[in-house]
């Protein structure tokens, strides 16, 4: 799922943008969550680090888009920003905040489609992640930091470079989400990132982090075949 935010003080424009993004989502069969904010101050007061891309109007009352972008970059280096403006002279100033691009209003569907296609290809696929939800809120876990997932009571425990994270998703749901990125369900209770596998001895899987997890007997052969295919593609 992609989380897109629209920050603009023109209600009619926000409604139009939402409709265009929903059209794109339906055409591309991409699940897109849309959040909207009336100005920069509202965006910052309710900022959510699960946001992947922000369409940010430059000219807004209170806190304008440039000031909001400055504050966003102080807490989020990864989120994509596409500035919206009616005046071209603001465009160059917007690039100081590492904007993906800027779009001069009004928005047309073909331009939105091009921008979303380009952003998904160049940015999101380079930094794949999942969104984890627990009692602390919702936040991103980058897949290149995720070693493995194990069942934990009725939830999941994600083992990452930065420690352990609880997730309220179920294993089947997360397996479907992670398999395209080199993860394998080696055991009913384990989903492993094959990038971190150091060696397999009998049913023991040793990871580069020093951790050891286990493969089940019924899954051992398929897991070894998946590992061979994974590393074959890397060579």
Structural domain total, the chain? 2
pLDDT means per 10 residues in the chain (235 residues)? Answer: 93 96 94 94 93 93 90 90 77 68 89 92 77 87 95 94 93 92 95 95 94 95 92 71
Is residue 116 located within the same domain as residue 46?
yes
Question: Is 49 in contact with 139 (CB distance < 8 Å)?
Answer: yes
Is residue 23 located within the same domain as residue 119?
yes
Which of 126, 144, 169 terminates a domain? The answer is 126
Query: Looking at residue 115, which CATH number applies to its domain?
Result: 3.40.50.2300
Which of 126, 146, 173 terminates a domain? The answer is 126
Is residue 106 located within the same domain as residue 153?
no
Is residue 153 located within the same domain as residue 48?
no
Residue 91: its pLDDT value, please? 55
Is residue 17 located within the same domain as residue 110?
yes
Residue 70: its pLDDT value, please? 92
Structure tokens at 162: 């930065």
Domain interval for residue 90: 2-126
Is residue 8 located within the same domain as residue 122?
yes
Q: Which residues pair with 133 in a beta bridge?
A: 138
Residue 126: its pLDDT value, please? 73
Is residue 115 located within the same domain as residue 30?
yes
Is residue 58 located within the same domain as residue 140?
no
* 3-class secondary structure, 51: coil
Please give the order of strands across the beta sheet that includes 163-167.
163-167, 155-160, 146-152, 190-193, 183-187
Q: How far is CA 16 from CA 34, 40, 117, 181, in A?
A: 12, 19, 19, 34
Is residue 223 located within the same domain as residue 176?
yes
Residue 148: its pLDDT value, please? 98
Is residue 216 located within the same domain as residue 152?
yes
| Entry field: residues in the chain | 235
Residue 204: its pLDDT value, please? 96
Is residue 144 located within the same domain as residue 119?
no
Q: In the block, which residue shows the tokens 């951790």?
A: 211
Which of 126, 148, 166 terminates a domain? The answer is 126
Structure tokens at 148: 């493995």
């Amino acid at each position: 799922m992609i989380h897109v935010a629209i920050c603009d003080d023109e209600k009619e424009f926000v409604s139009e943008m939402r409709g265009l993004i929903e059209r794109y989502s339906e055409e591309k069969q991409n699940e897109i969550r849309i959040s909207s904010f009336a100005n920069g101050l509202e965006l910052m007061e309710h900022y959510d680090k699960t946001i992947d891309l922000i369409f940010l109007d430059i000219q807004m009352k209170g806190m304008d888009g440039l000031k909001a972008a400055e504050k966003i970059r102080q807490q989020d280096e990864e989120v994509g920003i596409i500035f919206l403006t009616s005046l071209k002279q603001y465009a160059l100033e917007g690039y100081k905040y590492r904007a993906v691009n800027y779009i001069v209003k009004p928005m047309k569907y073909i331009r939105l489609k091009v921008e979303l296609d380009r952003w998904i290809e160049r940015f999101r696929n380079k930094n794949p992640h999942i969104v984890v939800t627990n009692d602390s809120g919702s936040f991103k876990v980058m897949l290149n930091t995720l070693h493995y997932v194990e069942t934990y009571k009725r939830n999941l425990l994600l083992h990452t470079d930065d420690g352990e994270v609880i997730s309220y998703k179920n294993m089947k749901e997360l397996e479907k989400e992670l398999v395209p990125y080199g993860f394998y369900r080696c055991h009913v209770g384990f989903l492993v990132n094959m990038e971190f596998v150091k060696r397999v001895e009998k049913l023991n899987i040793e990871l580069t982090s020093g951790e050891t997890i286990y493969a089940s007997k019924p899954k051992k052969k398929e897991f070894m075949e998946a590992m061979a295919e994974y590393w074959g593609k890397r060579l």
